Chains A and B, each alone.
Chain A
Amino acid sequence: MENALSKKFEVRMKTGFQHGLFVMILLAGVVAVVSGCAGTATGRDTSVYSSLKAEQVSDQKSSEASAMVVIRYPAMINTNAENLYVSSFAINAIGGEVPYGVYGNRQTSRVAQSIIEKSSYFAMSLYHELKGVLPEGSVLLSPHIIEWDKERNLYSRPILGSEQIPSVLTIDFNIYSFPDVNELMDAPPVTFGDLVTPMIVVKSSRWIQPSLGGLLISSPPLVSSAWRQARKEADSSFRSRLDDTPQDPDSSLEFISFLRERDQTELAVPLKGAGDGNQQMAAIEQYSLEKIQMNGELIATLPKDYTVDPFVQAFVKGASTRIVDMLNSIDHEKATFFARQAALERFDPELANVFFIQSGDESVRARLQLAEALVGAEREFLAAQSDSIYDGTYIGNYGAKMRNIIAAEYRTLEERRQLARKQNITTAVAVIALAGAVYGAVASAASTAAAVTTSGALLAGSGWALHETLETKTESNEVNRYFLARMAPAFDRQMSVQMEWLESKEVITARGFAEFRNKTLSLYQSRVRSMQVSANEQCRFENPGFGASGRWYGTCSNGVASGRGYGLIMNARGDSLEFIGDAQKGLASGAGGMIIQRRGQIGATYYEGGFKNGVPDGVVRIEEPGQIPRTRLYKAGVDIGKGDAASLQSLNFAMNSVASGSLTP
């Protein structure tokens, strides 16, 4: 805080104020801050999504193996990653520039840590709401731990296996607060007390919005890094299939990918608003950064009564309505097709290859039914673990502490708002000091567990204690720091319990999951029968514009693609082509879908419909970034006019009768 004030002072000195007027300047500065932020300490009442009309999720045919939504969020941080995480957080501040002097402040560190704490807490609200509106076991939690190593830099990894389960949608969720606490009461986004700034990125399979890599919704600051991340993942997956190179395991949270970047250019990724009329356009729906103000009365009573979740009312209900809308507009079979194939590849590579053929053969159907039941059982197991995380985080000890923290912060904010209204300068000085003290008065804890949880504990203690202070006589910051430093270990121990619980959850669940997988895999292997269909692993796929070095996974004849399958090919420039559908003599021929990604280009071009000799032929639907998809008529790869949408051969991702049968007449 001192540094921050000094910084302000230095700035003003340079503007020519007299040195002897220091006290007046300071007070003037405080007045300016207080009066200036009187209107901005509040957020908007409700999210843009709150006006959406809730609908029930439609009953779509989907695989037993698939979930509908996986919620990814930051939950823990490794001590090794802490410094880089905090500095990256300060460097990549959203909503303004952060003075260099603030980077190393304890307050900055506390804000960075509070993001993990509160994301973890508020993610539970989203989980609970979606769980209530979607079918049982179809929503999974995927808490992440933030890590660092030399090769991968800052990254995050999931602590449960939820992301190995095919899912229609993946939601990256976190809350955000501007790093500089001196600006806490000003315009930048903040999560403190009754104010909350959520950030989300919603993704599906690349085949759902192929021109934009499956990115569907994003908070604008995360768009460019999300696109780069999506491209990286797609490239890695592509190369892995093309020449058997190991796939890059990085599946970091979008927020962490964003923080990892330095001086990356802002990309001109096409965006559209949530309520825009151009919903048909192939663009990423932007969920603008919203500083939402939750219901203060509910916040004030949170520690005693949390039956009504203020975050649900302010944001989650609307957001989950949007998610349900999205689920209703997406073909679930298409969205999970490749993820299902990847899931099968883990334990039955032979079936995974045949999967691309979408064979109706009974031997394939029966084996697939067994395999998908296996993945379905894993989904069920992980759904139970997600419930357990919810119970432990929201209903348990941790949730109670977080509610104390939030209520204490709210009281602090309310006090400040009242003071701002009264323009009580003397007390306002104390309040300004408070903001910094709340976030930064205690030394960092040493252990991994404590490192993550300290901030929350301190917030609870310091917020509460300092609030009480305002009613009597304000002591100096020195006293506050002394006191809080003394208190820190006690709070650390309290909150590290939650951390250790989460860690234990990872260990116990991982051990339990591995044991479970061994048993189920053994059962699977003892029951599967051979298939009457096979897929040649070394089958060639060609394209007139890309050459003959492609690879085909599917029906093969004389070493070349012939029948249903999935092919990929890359040319010398690094442009890539993926095709799923029918082929003849090594070339795309028949109904199919084709993604062409030109190197260095933002977005891809997607063709779906008829193909002949490797090029579009017949009625074809074309999707390009930033444009409304159009239906055209092609002849030998040449666009010859408008196409009749009714004659379009849509790509069918449904497997033949995989759903379990019943012997009961």
Chain B
Amino acid sequence: MIRWLTRNLLTLGLLLAAVSSAHAVTSVDELSDLPPGEQYRQLSLILLISGGADPVLTDALIPEDDSDQGGAISQLSPDDYKTPLIRIVDQESMLSGAAFLLRFARESNTEIEASLAAINASNPVLISMVDMNAITEDAIIIRNAIADAISYSGLAEDEQLALSLQDYRTQTIRIRNIMEFELFDEELERLTDEAILSVGGKLDAYQRMFDQEVGSKELDRQFDAAKYIFNRTEKFDEKAGLLTEEIMKNVILSQSNPNNP
């Protein structure tokens, strides 16, 4: 639990660092100095945080012509965001940071998606190793923090904004559910593969046992016997006697088998 909390607080810090740095980042290109994995993480995070935030919500946070949108953020160190205290005492900064982030995500959505696709195409192995669950967990914490900040601010008293906020919260729950489903599905797939292999293996063994027990040569021999009996030659009696003996042995053997009472 402590480990989980620590990890999430760190993630929050990273996320808010991303948010705080976003005031200076006016385009996706400005992230290009970061390693590809980190670029991918930050851009994914931005998309996940902004998902389900409709324009009503975004525009209500800070008027669009507010040129001082980054001011509050710039006065904070990223470390400040690591502590939950900041979310309690400095709601205004929280809101302005969120407003900037959501608007940035909305306006640069195409660019962000293109950039993610490009990173993915250039580094498929690296990106396949990115822990999306960790990013999602971070995004869920930030989304809840943003939603709570809006609730505390009194903005949600507006009916339209309350609905938008509710949608945003629902989207957060959906993101959590999808993340949980993916973990569930992974485990289910493992159990399914295991069960298929297990049953298949038992049946294969059973089939092999039969194959060994009932060689097809024996059946061919019975066919030969049938053919011989019906195509009599001068040596019929002699050979038929031998074959009949063989058949009878088989009859006794098969009849004495406990599986064929």
Contacts and interface: CB of A to CB of B under 8 A. Distances in A.
B223 interface: yes
Contact of A494 (B178, B219, B229): B219
A399 B177 CA distance: 48
Contacts of B203: 388, 392, 501, 504-505, 508-509
B113 A362 contact: no
Contact of A489 (B177, B210, B223, B251): B251
Given A369-B181, A468-B227, A664-B132, A516 B175 contact: no
Interface string A360-387: 0011011001100110010011001100
Nearest to B130: A664
Contacts of B181: 366, 369-370, 373, 660-661
B254 A489 contact: yes
Contacts of A388: 199-200, 203
A5 interface: no
A385 B199 contact: yes
B186 to A, nearest CB: 11
A483 B195 contact: no
Contacts of A496: 259-260
Contact of B216 (A397, A490, A501): A397
Contacts, number: 180
A466 B133 CA distance: 71
Contact of A465 (B113, B133, B210, B227): B227
B257 interface: yes
Contacts of A662: 178, 182
B260 A516 contact: no
Interface residues of A, number: 66
Given A384-B196, A509-B199, A377 B189 contact: yes
Q: Would you call the interface of chain A mostly helix, strand, loop, or mixed?
A: helix
Interface stretch (B40-48, B76-84, B93-101): B40-48
A516 B189 CA distance: 11
Contacts of B257: 493
Contacts of B244: 486
Nearest to A505: B203
B261 A464 contact: no
A465 B226 contact: yes
A487 B222 contact: yes
Contact of A377 (B136, B191, B207, B223): B191
Interface string A501-534: 1001100110011011001100110010100000
Given A492-B260, A664-B132, A665-B113, A461 B250 contact: no
A487 B247 contact: yes
A497 B222 contact: no
Contacts of B145: none
B206 A504 contact: yes
Contacts of B189: 377
B33 interface: no
14 contacts: A365-B177, A370-B184, A381-B199, A384-B196, A447-B261, A465-B227, A468-B227, A472-B230, A500-B259, A520-B192, A527-B180, A662-B178, A665-B47, A665-B116
Interface of B: 43-44, 47-48, 113, 116, 132-133, 136, 170, 173-175, 177-182, 184-185, 187-189, 191-192, 195-196, 198-200, 202-203, 206-207, 210-211, 213-214, 216, 218-219, 222-223, 225-227, 229-232, 244, 247-248, 250-251, 254-255, 257, 259-261
Ranked 5 nearest A-B pairs via Cβ: A512-B199, A366-B177, A516-B195, A465-B226, A493-B254
Given A381-B199, A520-B192, 17 more contacts: A366-B177, A366-B180, A373-B184, A373-B185, A397-B211, A461-B222, A472-B231, A483-B229, A489-B255, A494-B214, A494-B218, A501-B210, A512-B195, A513-B195, A523-B187, A663-B132, A665-B47
